[in-house]
């Protein structure tokens, strides 16, 4: 009788150890799944914020043009409405709220950029850790990883953002600081500009940059060659 009780106790201990092992493995799997979901949600949030900002900027530009129209306002508004339509398509594809905009957010975003650009003390590992959210913010392709001198954004058209200042560009594929060379194949004029903000297009030129490559009376470059040069 005593031998049977001893064997029964050992079996109980073995069963308890097995149950604890299974429970621990399940908890680890749940934790890993939760962490992956958190990273994905953070990246999606950054992408949606970038698209909402671009949409708000374009809506504000259209409102300004309607409030202070000139001879070219109708053409500018038509181009911006096309850009807005493209942004909404990207919002839907990214799982964002379609039509969500962040008007008045451009100023805050631009003011926040200089500190990010002027952080020379940041270590290489830290820089590598911050790159994935920046790359995934505006788009779901590998444009930001293109080598210098490589043609990018194949088939994309180029229009103007209506923003003032020195020649510059905005993009949904390349982070601030990237240099792009945009060539208008209809007149062989080109300009090299730095990306300074987020938009709903692969390359959206501000007024000064667009003037360097435009054809008279046109507000859209349908045959554009876009290269990443830095």
Domain positions in the chain are 2-110+131-228
For the domain bounded by 2-110+131-228, which CATH number is listed? 2.40.40.10
Whether 115 shows a pLDDT value over 60: the answer reads no
Q: Are 80 and 61 contacting, i.e. CB atoms less than 8 angstroms apart? A: yes
Return the percentage of the chain with pLDDT > 90, whole number.
Answer: 23
- Residue 150: strand pairing partners: 228
Whether 142 shows a pLDDT value over 80: the answer reads no
Whether 214 shows a pLDDT value over 90: the answer reads yes
Average pLDDT over all residues of the chain? 73
Mean pLDDT along residues 66-92:
82
Of residues 117 and 160, the one with the higher pLDDT is 160
The confidence band for 95, taking pLDDT boundaries of 50, 70 and 90, is confident
**What does the pLDDT look like over 5-63, one tens digit per residue?**
555 666 655 566 565 555 555 555 555 556 656 656 666 677 787 788 877 887 888 88
**What does the pLDDT look like over 160-213, one tens digit per residue?**
888 899 999 999 889 999 999 999 999 999 999 999 998 888 899 999 999 999
Q: Are 138 and 51 contacting, i.e. CB atoms less than 8 angstroms apart? A: yes
């Amino acid at each position: 009788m005593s031998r049977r009780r001893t064997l029964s106790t050992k079996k109980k201990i073995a069963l308890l150890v097995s149950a604890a092992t299974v429970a621990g493995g399940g908890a680890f799997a749940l934790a890993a799944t939760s962490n992956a979901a958190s990273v994905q949600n953070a990246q999606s949030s950054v992408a949606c914020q970038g698209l909402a900002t671009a949409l708000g900027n374009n809506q504000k530009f259209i409102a300004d043009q309607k409030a202070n129209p000139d001879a070219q306002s109708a053409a500018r508004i038509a181009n911006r409405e096309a850009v807005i339509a493209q942004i909404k398509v990207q919002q839907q594809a990214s799982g964002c709220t379609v039509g969500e905009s962040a008007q008045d957010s451009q100023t805050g975003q631009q003011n926040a950029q200089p500190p990010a650009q002027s952080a020379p003390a940041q270590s290489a590992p830290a820089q590598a850790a911050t790159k994935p959210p920046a790359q995934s913010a505006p788009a779901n392709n590998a444009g930001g990883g293109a080598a210098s001198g490589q043609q990018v954004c194949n088939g994309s058209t180029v229009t103007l953002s209506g923003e003032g200042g020195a020649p510059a560009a905005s993009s949904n594929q390349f982070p601030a600081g990237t240099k792009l060379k945009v060539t208008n194949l209809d007149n062989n004029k080109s300009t090299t500009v730095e990306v300074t903000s987020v938009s709903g297009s692969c390359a959206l030129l501000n007024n000064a940059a667009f003037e360097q490559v435009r054809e008279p009376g046109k507000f859209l470059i349908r045959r554009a060659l876009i290269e990443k040069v830095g």
